[in-house]
Structure 1
């Protein structure tokens, strides 16, 4: 096997990204929007959580609670969306590497699912504590 030529120059992560300043921010925003679109179109669980957010966020504004409590109620439902995107990213990465059944692949997917279970439990707990 042919070894790569060692030039003595190690590229930095920044030099490989190619963009700086506002151009980088705009590119990153585009990638973020693409990620949200991929989650919405490709993940039923994400769409279900969007529906939950569309119900719970207006309810949070309707409730007679403090501003801090309202912020917490809204933050936890957003947290559920964030964890679902991360869980979906883990699953997609594992599937990209191999569709073979492997104990480590199962472990990674199960842990992502466990994280989502905990975030949904947190939503239920916080809403219950604030409401009751």
Structure 2
């Protein structure tokens, strides 16, 4: 298999455009970006350990990834049908539920990371 450098860089460009578009247009993603900036600021302020940084990076990347997937699912469903359909609602609700589960877990784990620094 031959690696095509131009094609590879183009695919990274498309991915970056997707991330930028979701940040610009989706309120929930904007909340996640703001929360990530707060967490990063707190990590710098408290001088957390490398291991704690690794945990926070995985949490932030996971949250952003899930929000990107959720948005892709929602936009795909909107493209397929503009009419209300119970299966479309179930798919959108399930994707949103996945984001919520991860967000709650992230808050709990993040709280555990910062607990010893705050108290």
TM > 0.5 fold call:
yes
SS at match of 1:101: coil
Distance 1:35 1:70 in 2: 26
Match for residue 73 of structure 2?
90
Structure 1 stretches lacking a partner, 5+ long: 1-19
Task: Please name the residue that 1:5 is paired with.
Answer: none
Match of 1:38 among 17, 21, 46: 21
Q: Which has the larger radius of gyration?
A: 1
Name the CA distance, whole Å, in 2 between partners of 1:105 and 1:55. 34
TM-score normalised over the length of structure 2 = 0.86
* Gap regions ≥5 residues in structure 2: none
Counterpart CA distance in 2 for 1:65 and 1:52 is 17
Question: How many residue pairs get matched?
Answer: 113
More helix as a share of residues = 2
1:64: how far off?
4.7
Q: Is the 8 A contact 1:60 1:74 kept in 2?
A: no
1:72 deviates by 0.2
Partner SS, residue 82 of structure 2: coil
Taking structure 1 as reference, are residues 69 and 26 closer, same or farther at Cα in structure 2, changes over 3 Å only? same
Q: Which runs of 4+ in 1 moved over 2 A?
A: 61-66
Deviation at 1:62, TM superposition (A): 2.6
Q: Which residue of structure 2 aligns with residue 73 of structure 1? A: 56
1:14 counterpart residue number: none
TM-score (norm 1): 0.78
